[in-house]
């Protein structure tokens, strides 16, 4: 009896109370104890399953940030310009860059042959907002990739210049969107991924820095993966105990039933 009470106490179950509720029948009280212990293990297994699901979502957020950083790793700030790191500035420039890119693409449409032949005699005018972007944006000023858009008339461009501008803006837009993901992506707990990894993202980054950022996140992701594996082992243990206690309860109830039948038969 003392051994059973000890087991019950370790799981927060009061065996004396169970015995009282079972009309002092030891077998029925034992069955109730087994059921309580089974439920405790089931609950603990469920808690760990929920924790694993959150960890998997956290790992997914890490992967999203790493993939965005891979885009940044291929981006040359010396050619295409440094990137803003402020969320509002990023969002604003993304819209401006999209509009400027759309402007160039719409102007070039139908004249691809002239662009391919570098025909400089055919000139079209870009929108003022587009021109202001590659002439006045603090990050694009004096940046080599946009030099073709600063040749000749301020708003007049031949097809080749537009084609070069499209290539440059496509690169920048992709990097801007990647930087926005890096800056805003959060874990399920609501914490920024880069803040959780103590990463300070700068405007004038280089490939080596981005590689270090990714390595920091991948290290946390590996730790998370190891923890998930350990939690899965514990879940299997809890479910094994759950099955054992459930079988014990079933057996005790069966014995109690047989006792009642024997008493009834006299």
Q: Where do the structural domains in the chain lie, given as residue ranges?
A: 1-75+204-266, 83-188
pLDDT score, position 114: 65
Model confidence pLDDT, tens digit, residues 198-243: 999 988 899 999 999 999 999 999 999 988 888 899 989 889 988 8
Maximum Cα–Cα distance for the chain, whole Å?
116
- pTM: predicted TM-score of the whole model, two decimal places: 0.76
Residue ranges, the chain, pLDDT below 70: 1-25, 112-120, 152-153, 256, 259-266
Instruction: Tell me what pLDDT residue 186 has.
Output: 94
Token pair of 137, please? 């944006």
d(CA 245, CA 34): 5
pLDDT at 57 (0 to 100): 92
Residues 6+ apart with CB under 8 A from 262: none
pLDDT at 160: 82
**Residue 94: other Cβ atoms inside 10 A:** 17
């Amino acid at each position: 009896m003392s051994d059973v009470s000890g087991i019950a106490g370790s799981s927060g179950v009061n065996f004396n109370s169970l015995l009282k509720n079972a009309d002092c029948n030891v077998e029925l009280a034992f069955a109730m104890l087994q059921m309580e212990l089974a439920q405790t293990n089931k609950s603990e297994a469920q808690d760990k399953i929920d924790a694993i699901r959150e960890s998997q979502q956290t790992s997914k957020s890490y992967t999203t940030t790493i993939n965005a950083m891979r885009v940044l790793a291929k981006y040359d700030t010396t050619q295409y310009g440094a990137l803003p790191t402020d969320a509002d500035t990023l969002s604003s420039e993304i819209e401006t860059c999209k509009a400027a890119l759309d402007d160039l693409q719409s102007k070039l449409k139908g004249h691809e042959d002239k662009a391919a032949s570098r025909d400089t005699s055919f000139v079209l005018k870009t929108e003022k907002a587009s021109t202001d972007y590659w002439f006045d944006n603090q990050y694009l000023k004096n940046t080599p990739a946009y030099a073709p858009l600063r040749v000749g008339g301020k708003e007049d461009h031949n097809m080749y210049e537009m084609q070069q501008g499209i290539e440059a803006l496509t690169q920048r837009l992709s990097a801007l969107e990647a930087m926005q993901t890096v800056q805003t992506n959060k874990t399920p707990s609501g914490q920024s991924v880069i803040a959780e990894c103590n990463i300070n993202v700068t405007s004038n980054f280089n490939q080596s820095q981005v590689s270090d950022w990714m390595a920091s996140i991948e290290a946390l992701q590996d730790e998370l993966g190891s923890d998930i594996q350990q939690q899965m082992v514990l879940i299997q243990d809890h479910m094994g105990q759950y099955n054992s206690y459930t079988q014990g309860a079933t057996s005790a109830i069966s014995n109690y039933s047989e006792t009642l039948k024997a008493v009834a038969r006299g």
